[in-house]
Amino acid sequence: MSSKFEPVSKVYVGEPLIVMPSIKCLSPWPILIENTSFQLAKHVNISAGGYQSVLNGVLLESDECASEVICVTPSEFSENILGCFTINWKRTDVESECKSGYSSIELPKIVVEKSTFLVDMKLPA
Distances in whole angstroms, Cα of residue 29 to Cα of each of 55, 57, 61, 121: 18, 16, 7, 48
Beta strand 58-60 with 31-40 is antiparallel
Give pLDDT tens digits for 70-95. 888 888 776 778 889 999 999 887 56
The torsion angles phi and psi of 108, rounded to 5 degrees, stand at: -65, 160
Q: What is the pLDDT of residue 32?
A: 92
Q: What percent of the chain has pLDDT over 90?
A: 33
Q: pLDDT, tens digit, for every residue of 34-62?
A: 999 999 988 888 887 778 889 999 999 99
pTM of the model: 0.77
Domains of the chain: 10-112 (2.60.40.10)
What is the chain's mean pLDDT, rounded?
84
pLDDT at 95: 62
pLDDT of residue 118: 64
The answer on pLDDT for 117 being more than 70 is no
Rg for the chain, CA atoms, rounded: 17
Distance CA 62, CA 30 (A): 6
